[in-house]
Structure 1
Amino acid sequence: MKRNVWSGWNLVVAVAAGALVAGSGACGGDDGDPDPGPTDAGTQTDAGTDGGTQAPAEEGRALAASNGGLIVVGSTEANLATTSVDVLVRRYTATGDLDTTFGTQGSVVVDFEGPATGAISGEREQADRADTVAVLADGSLLVAGFAQGGATSDSRDFAVVKLTPSGQLDTSFNKTGRSRLHFGADGSVDFRGAVHRILPMADGRFYVGGFLTKSDGLDEDFALIRYKADGSLDTTFTSAGSPAGSWIGGAYTNAESVQGIAIQGTSIVIGGGDDFAAVRIRPAGNQDLTFGTSGLAKSVGGRAHAMVARPGGGFLLAGERQDVKVGGTGYGVMKLVAYTAEGKPDVTFGPEGVREFTAPEDVLDVVNVSGLAIQADGKILVYANVRAKPALFRFQANGDLDTAFGTGGVVRWPETQLTLPLFIRPTTGPKLVVSGDTAFVTDANIYTPGFFPGPARLLLKSTGL
């Protein structure tokens, strides 16, 4: 099933020697689809604290619970003139304040080096960005995303940072606390990739998953890399046609991007992208062709933005399918796909394992899904962007809307004017966080109770990320 498209390409692990400086300020920003191309990093926003001086634009991309508070990762323009856009890591306390014991006054900014500007269709390049974070058992952090790979192209390298629990670069990790994985010959700008998920293992090794494509971005393919605890590639993880330390998928659909990683025994299941694709990789690095149909599970139509393991085995993917006709009009609708542990459609969840939601009308025009969690009782939480508004859905374990939740199974917030379904919405007005079984919401620094399972805490302020 796998097509050998990466044969002969080299991987280079480079030590990044960029700067580590303090972050600051209120946030703003924009984003596109889950695997966006270069974007305008946003306009400066008025911090409103010192006579109208402007704070650097910032963008929150992912989060994790840490030390009783919350770690948020993304990007910042704090050093735009010198190092362009840099990785941002910030920690908040349980009361929503910056944790000033972390990094420099609560923030860590990491530069992977590279040109500050470059011509890509007249847009400023987004140099470095974090898209995912994992908290290890000792409280240290793995942060991953991409680093700009070239001055005049949209080349992007896989980037991983390891921080100590106090927010310092962990120099036991690749000697600098940073690891940069370049695809292609040294200095080439042929490929574009990004990490979207991290899965730490009990022995200290970890997987990162994302996508890899030619720099034209026309076809994205699954990419799974295994690292040793010290930040070096685990070259015992091998697959025919892929560089040592990696498994690079063939062109199963137009675009595959790892939006979820789950461990299954000694194997790893990854999923996401077009046609709700999922594959299983054995611990040695070869694809398990007994999974799904000839090694691939898929449900034709739409794109998966998130994946989680289901209690008792199996996997759930959530995303959207566009141009679904409802009353003669085309809409984007939410699509959930359930697979068994062996990658077969779980027909107990719905016909061919699929549930699509065209009613009530309030669920139509789903653009994106960025939050997916299964509660301890089996109920499913999905956070999505519906008509440019954040919406939280709760479903029964069988895929039915839980009408006891919110209004008809949905909790909605006011217009945000942005089509980014982030866990954290960096705009004025309400922000929503879903982390495991716990959800958090803020509105003008006032906690809104009454909808969510788990303990209720205010974590984010409207003046923060």
Structure 2
Amino acid sequence: MPTHVSARPSPLAAAAGLLAFALPALTAFAQPALPDGSLDPGFGRGGVAISDFPLNNDWVHAVATQPDGKILTFSRGGGPTPHDPTFLRCRLLRWSSDGKLDPTFGNAGQALLSGPRDSAGLPSCTTVAVQSDGKIVVGGTLGFNVLLARYTPDGRLDRDFDDDGIVVTRDYYLNEPYEIAFQPDGRIVVGAIGFDDSSSTFTPAVARFTANGKLDPSFGRGGVAATPLPERFGGGSVRLVLQHDGKIVTAGSVQNASMLIRYLPDGRLDPAFGAGGIVRFIGNNLYDTVNGMVLQADGSFLTSHSLRTFDPGPDFKGTVIRHRADGSLDSGYGSPLVRGSGRLALQADGRVLMLGYHNRSSVMQRINPDGSPDTGFDRPRIDFGGVDGTFQAMAVQGNGAIVLVAWLDDQRIGVARLLSPTYCLADPFNPGRYIGFSDSGWFSTANSGVGGNGYGVVGRGSIQAWNRPGVGQYHRLTASGASPDSVYRVDASVHTDGRSGWGSGNVFANGATPARYATLDARINDIGCSIRSSR
């Protein structure tokens, strides 16, 4: 049976059952020149960059960032005629860290992908991701087939990927790839929407490809794990994450309910998760669609949802729900009421960004790890030269900066970058072992990746920060408390001169999931703090 949940506001104390939080004690330190969430004056013109081609006909769908600060956007467009439904036309752009198109990439900053539609169904250009070696994988749809293409770091099609750089799946009804993730051995996991011929219903589906672009025969059935559902109209997943142990979790909807599915590394459903690998849940006035999902350092899942509202009072339109690592609902989470609902992204300190749509305009909000809204975060109005637009995607860079991409009404691409300082200490040899924190006191740490035991915790500690003239700023985190299965202590410190820095940290946890690890990072913030798979 589906789990019933209620979306409601909750004070900070609502999370006490999950974590023991210590309120931050701040000492005086030099404040940043601009408030958290301000447009970055070092990017584009006043924090904003806009594409401009002889023919502007772009519908941007996705964004990804590189460790060097460069930004990739992926859009449908770039053809000689606007949005010809008989052709696939995708434009991959790379922007330098200053907001200009990168002339060293492709042809003057762009790489075009095009081809004739060879079956029914509209073509699409939906997702982009960056491998650890700098190669770039994009995904879209050609007819009713998933299309993947891989580019070298300089913007050329990678001939080591299925011989010509392009893969089209023709043996399965797979459509609309929505997420691309990478395993440490180079295999590529793709979440998509499937179609079951026998029942004529849509199904959640995950495909896995080898590093050279072939469907992986050791995964699912011939490389595809499809999950037929008994509901009359089937269902589909729209978000995907990889756990530290190689398991794959997708989020989506099934008739009148939201849904999480967990697969074992070989593509079978995980019997230890929910009911036979599937968790169904519904809530009061909760739409069944899942708009966003992130995996927290402690193994919990956050999903964002839209709400049906009939109250003439405060105009809340969305909420966030948390499930524990085993799929059970975390009733102690705040489940904040927020304006709009949309995609989610994690910052290094564990705070969560939500990019949504509300009252015919884009809204971005930030939620603390315990589920309380971050009322101190207020994104400024972003002006794309007087042209209206709608934000479609976001990404977080290693230094905490937030990148937003928008469809503009004149069919150009708008990119904005916001300042949001965080400190990320990642093990250079195993980036899945990390400590991330900010001057808010919130922190996130995990021992994931190759050799990690999967321990992770999100919490709040004390911050000491001071400035030494001519030397730089120092920031120190001290935290201790209890997670559901361990008592922990976290200590970390960084030194930064505003452009670069170094830092170190230690974590000790004693209990059912013990952990003891340290990080020494000679170049903080060059690798994002996030859970990484060990297999």
In 2, are the aligned partners of 1:389 and 1:412 still within 8 Å (CA)? no
2:393 aligned partner, one-letter code: F
In 1, are the aligned partners of 2:70 and 2:94 still within 8 Å (CA)? yes
Change in Cα spacing, 1:442 to 1:179, as seen in structure 2 (3 Å) is closer
Q: Post-superposition shift, 1:164?
A: 0.5
1:151-196 C-alpha deviation (Å, 9 max, x unpaired): xxxxx21111011011111111100100001245xxxxxx461111
Change in Cα spacing, 1:68 to 1:344, as seen in structure 2 (3 Å) is same
In 2, are the aligned partners of 1:381 and 1:394 still within 8 Å (CA)? yes
2:401 aligned partner, one-letter code: T
| Aligned residues between the structures | 357
Change in Cα spacing, 1:447 to 1:137, as seen in structure 2 (3 Å) is closer
Change in Cα spacing, 1:450 to 1:205, as seen in structure 2 (3 Å) is closer
Match of 1:70 in 2: 71
How many percent of aligned residue pairs carry the same amino acid? 23
Separation in structure 1 between the aligned mates of residue 208 and residue 174 of structure 2, nearest angstrom: 19
Match of 2:134 in 1: 139
1:273-330 C-alpha deviation (Å, 9 max, x unpaired): 4533111111121101220233212321421122111111111111313x2221399x
In 2, are the aligned partners of 1:392 and 1:411 still within 8 Å (CA)? no
In 2, are the aligned partners of 1:333 and 1:356 still within 8 Å (CA)? no
In 2, are the aligned partners of 1:56 and 1:77 still within 8 Å (CA)? yes
Question: After superposition, where does 1:252-263 map in structure 2 within 5 Å?
Answer: 255-263=235-243
Change in Cα spacing, 1:267 to 1:106, as seen in structure 2 (3 Å) is same
Q: Could you list the runs of 5+ residues in structure 1 that have no partner in the other structure?
A: 2-46, 150-155, 185-190, 425-432, 458-465
Match of 2:192 in 1: 210
Question: After superposition, where does 1:226-375 map in structure 2 within 5 Å?
Answer: 226-238=208-220, 243-251=221-229, 255-273=235-253, 275-300=257-282, 301-302=286-287, 303-321=289-307, 323-327=308-312, 333-350=317-334, 355=335, 357=337, 363=339, 366=340, 368-370=341-343, 372-375=344-347
1:403-426 C-alpha deviation (Å, 9 max, x unpaired): 1222xxx766579766x54027xx
- What is the TM-score of this pair, normalised by structure 2? 0.59
Q: Post-superposition shift, 1:332?
A: 7.1
What's the C-alpha RMSD, in Å, of the aligned pairs? 3.7
1:76 aligned partner, one-letter code: G
1:249 aligned partner, one-letter code: T
1:260 aligned partner, one-letter code: L
**Residue 58 in structure 1 maps to residue 58 in structure 2:** yes
Higher strand share: 2
In 2, are the aligned partners of 1:62 and 1:73 still within 8 Å (CA)? yes
Q: Post-superposition shift, 1:78?
A: 1.4
SS in 2 for 1:338: strand
Separation in structure 1 between the aligned mates of residue 376 and residue 165 of structure 2, nearest angstrom: 47
1:223-255 C-alpha deviation (Å, 9 max, x unpaired): 1011111100110112xxxx4211112236653
**Residue 423 in structure 1 maps to residue 389 in structure 2:** no
In 1, are the aligned partners of 2:309 and 2:316 still within 8 Å (CA)? yes
- What is the TM-score of this pair, normalised by structure 1? 0.68
In 1, are the aligned partners of 2:89 and 2:113 still within 8 Å (CA)? yes
Q: Could you list the runs of 5+ residues in structure 2 that have no partner in the other structure?
A: 2-50, 424-497, 500-535
Q: Post-superposition shift, 1:134?
A: 1.4
**Residue 198 in structure 1 maps to residue 164 in structure 2:** no
2:57 aligned partner, one-letter code: A
Change in Cα spacing, 1:283 to 1:85, as seen in structure 2 (3 Å) is closer
In 2, are the aligned partners of 1:59 and 1:74 still within 8 Å (CA)? yes
**Residue 109 in structure 1 maps to residue 86 in structure 2:** no
In 2, are the aligned partners of 1:272 and 1:317 still within 8 Å (CA)? no
Structure whose alpha-carbon radius of gyration is higher:
2
Match of 1:158 in 2: 146
Separation in structure 1 between the aligned mates of residue 145 and residue 247 of structure 2, nearest angstrom: 26
SS in 2 for 1:132: strand
Q: Which has the higher contact order (CA 8 A, sep 6+)?
A: 2
In 2, are the aligned partners of 1:280 and 1:288 still within 8 Å (CA)? yes
